[in-house]
């Protein structure tokens, strides 16, 4: 029987943290410049960044105008065609922008005209209907006046300061906040993926906390917080999307900068974003989503001046048919996307905060996706906190599945080999119970009778990859094999920004 007075079942969050307090868990490594880590502001030699009222000093660099760098509008190479009479001349785009932004704007039409003055090719495309509707129909006259007399001039002033604030090829996010962010693209080559079908790691060895209340961003403090990402990072946040990833990017707008320099994520890639701050509260989801006021983020800073918030963006596969997600190659893909960089026998912290990954518009099965994430965390030796978003039945189902697998000492390999169609069971729990009943006793004895030393030996044979933390959820690598060190199979590519 479940205690309905409590929203969560399983182990306490302190066992997911690996400590009594979220902030007692291990921190991410301090920021240090390296050949594969571009730091865009000055840091001390020890990588520590003192938190004070002074913004970090921008790192000076050489303007670069090519496909490997963000093409800045203030670059001398940024030219724009301007029609003058019967001729078309190329002018510096920044001169046009400066001229436009220094003029007063009194209403939404002035703002639209200003934007189009240096984006003329979009005059027939950008209608700004939502912008006009906001100011003409929804805002009070006093609110509109304040925006155009105070807020917008401040934004324009900040934009015009771009050449002074951003002095290196990759842009800084902003100037006044004193925090820092790190963006790390991490990849696992297929040859380094765990052998899921033959894995002997016990599902029951992974601490599991399942809660029907709360959210990843509200209750996953100090944990690796999963972003149910689109392969084009941010999804529809700049258009009409308003589900999990878009909401996270809106309430933590510093994440938006990742869209500027992150290419489409491949099935074996993810993006780890460390240090974002939350600025807004919200209510609702999708069509009911709305802003609910200012949010005061009290998350502490780490030794490098980053908020101790780590968001892990993993692409969620879309499924046209329910049965598609049970295909072996699909399940293998999920494992690849959330595998570990170091297969250790002991648990590694922080744990993972996640939920119904890819189960909304992408059509995923919450029961299967929760099980796959538990499998991935078992391989990674990381505890998992799972939030079912008010679904009490799903909470109970997940814990029942976990208890069943734990009771019978079921391994990741056995789950992997018994979640593929065709099957007759009408639920994940029934499917797994059916699979357990069909396995010959001698087959299970090979797992159940394994000694701790045997299991430790299995894990030890897998320890061959350097890690981004003590044990990461993702294997970090670069695209170029010649960048690997002599004693490592993988590397990582990262960039740290001043906020």
Domain ranges of the chain: 8-31+180-436, 79-165
Verify cis geometry, omega within 30 degrees of 0, for the bond prior to 144.
no
For residue 6, which of 209, 281, 273 has the smallest C-alpha distance? 209
Q: Which two tokens mark 40?
A: 């865009």
Beta bridge partners of 37: 34, 494
Look at residue 366 in the predicted model and tell me its pLDDT: 83
Instruction: From residue 422, give the alpha-carbon distance in Å to each of 43, 142, 395, 418.
Output: 57, 63, 26, 10
Query: CA-to-CA distance for 341 and 343, rounded, in angstroms?
Result: 7
Query: CA-to-CA distance for 316 and 357, rounded, in angstroms?
Result: 6
Beta strands in 263-360 (DSSP E): 269-274, 280-283, 290-294, 310-315, 352-354
Q: Which two tokens mark 468?
A: 């981004």
Please state the residue numbers annotated as binding site for substrate: 230, 244, 285
Residue with tokens 């959210």: 215
Q: At 226, which helix (H) or strand (E)?
A: strand 224-229
**Residue 158 contacts residue 166 (beta carbons within 8 Å):** no
What is the chain's alpha carbon radius of gyration, rounded to the nearest angstrom? 25
Query: CA-to-CA distance for 259 and 494, rounded, in angstroms?
Result: 15
Degrees, nearest 5: CA angle 116-120-124: 85
Length of the chain in residues, anyone? 499
**Residue 354 contacts residue 216 (beta carbons within 8 Å):** yes
382: left (phi over 0), alpha (psi -120 to 50) or beta: beta
DSSP structural state of residue 118: T
Beta bridge partners of 387: 211
Beta bridge partners of 386: 210, 354
Decide the pairing of beta strands 280-283 and 290-294.
antiparallel
Look at residue 456 in the predicted model and tell me its pLDDT: 35
Query: CA-to-CA distance for 237 and 260, rounded, in angstroms?
Result: 13
Look at residue 235 in the predicted model and tell me its pLDDT: 87
Query: CA-to-CA distance for 336 and 330, rounded, in angstroms?
Result: 10
Active site residues: 227, 245-246
Contacts of 463 (CB under 8 A, 6+ apart): 342, 343, 344
Beta bridge partners of 210: 9, 386
Give the phi and the psi of residue 463 in degrees, each rounded to 5: -80, 100
DSSP structural state of residue 123: T
Look at residue 494 in the predicted model and tell me its pLDDT: 65
Give the phi and the psi of residue 135 in degrees, each rounded to 5: -80, -30
Beta bridge partners of 498: 180
Q: CB 328: neighbour CB atoms within 10 A? A: 14
**Residue 257 contacts residue 375 (beta carbons within 8 Å):** no
CATH numeric code, 8-31+180-436: 3.40.220
Verify cis geometry, omega within 30 degrees of 0, for the bond prior to 160.
no
pLDDT under 50: residue ranges of the chain: 171-176, 326-344, 422-425, 440-491
């Amino acid at each position: 029987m479940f205690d309905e007075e409590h929203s969560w079942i399983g182990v306490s969050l302190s066992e997911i943290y690996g400590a009594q307090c979220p902030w007692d868990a291990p921190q991410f490594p301090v920021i240090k410049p390296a050949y594969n880590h571009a730091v865009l502001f000055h840091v001390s030699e020890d990588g520590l960044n003192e938190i004070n009222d002074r913004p970090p000093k921008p790192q000076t660099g050489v303007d670069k105008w090519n496909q490997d760098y963000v093409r800045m509008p203030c670059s001398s190479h940024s030219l724009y065609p301007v029609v003058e009479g019967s001729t078309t001349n190329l002018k510096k785009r920044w001169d046009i922008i400066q001229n436009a932004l220094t003029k007063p704007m009194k209403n939404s039409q002035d703002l639209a005209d200003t934007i189009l003055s240096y984006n003329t090719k979009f005059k027939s495309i950008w209608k700004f209907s939502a912008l006009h509707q906001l100011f003409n129909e929804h805002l009070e006259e006093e609110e509109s006046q304040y925006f155009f007399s105070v807020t917008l001039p401040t934004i324009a002033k900040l934009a015009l300061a771009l050449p002074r604030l951003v002095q290196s090829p990759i842009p800084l996010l902003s100037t006044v906040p004193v925090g820092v962010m790190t963006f790390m693209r991490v990849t696992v080559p297929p040859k380094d993926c765990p052998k899921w079908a033959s894995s002997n790691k016990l599902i029951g060895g992974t601490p599991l906390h399942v809660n029907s209340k709360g959210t990843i961003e509200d209750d996953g403090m100090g944990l690796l917080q999963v972003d149910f990402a689109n392969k084009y990072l941010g999804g529809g946040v700049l258009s009409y999307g308003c589900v999990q990833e878009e909401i996270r990017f809106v309430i933590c707008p510093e994440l938006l900068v990742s869209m500027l320099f992150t290419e489409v994520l491949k099935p074996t890639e993810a993006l780890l974003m460390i240090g974002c701050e939350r600025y807004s509260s919200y209510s609702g989801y999708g069509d009911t989503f709305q802003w609910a006021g200012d949010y005061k983020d009290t998350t502490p800073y780490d030794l490098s001046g980053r908020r101790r918030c780590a968001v892990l963006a993993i692409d969620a596969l879309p499924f046209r048919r329910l049965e598609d997600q049970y295909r072996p190659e699909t399940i293998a893909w999920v494992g690849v996307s959330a595998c570990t960089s170091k297969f250790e026998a002991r648990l590694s912290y922080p744990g993972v905060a996640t939920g119904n990954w890819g189960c909304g518009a992408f059509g995923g099965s919450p029961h299967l996706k929760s099980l796959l994430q538990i499998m991935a965390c078992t391989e990674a030796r990381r505890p998992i906190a799972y939030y079912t978003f008010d679904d009490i039945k799903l909470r109970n189902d997940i814990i029942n599945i976990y208890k069943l697998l734990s009771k019978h000492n079921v391994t990741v390999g056995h789950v992997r080999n018994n979640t593929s169609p065709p099957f007759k069971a009408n639920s994940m729990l029934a499917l797994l119970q059916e699979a357990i009943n069909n396995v010959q006793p001698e087959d299970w004895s090979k797992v159940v009778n394994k000694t701790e030393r045997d299991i430790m030996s299995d894990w030890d044979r897998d320890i061959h990859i350097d890690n981004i933390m003590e044990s990461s959820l993702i294997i970090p690598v670069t695209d170029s094999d010649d960048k690997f060190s002599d004693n490592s199979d993988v590397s990582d590519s990262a960039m740290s920004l001043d906020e």
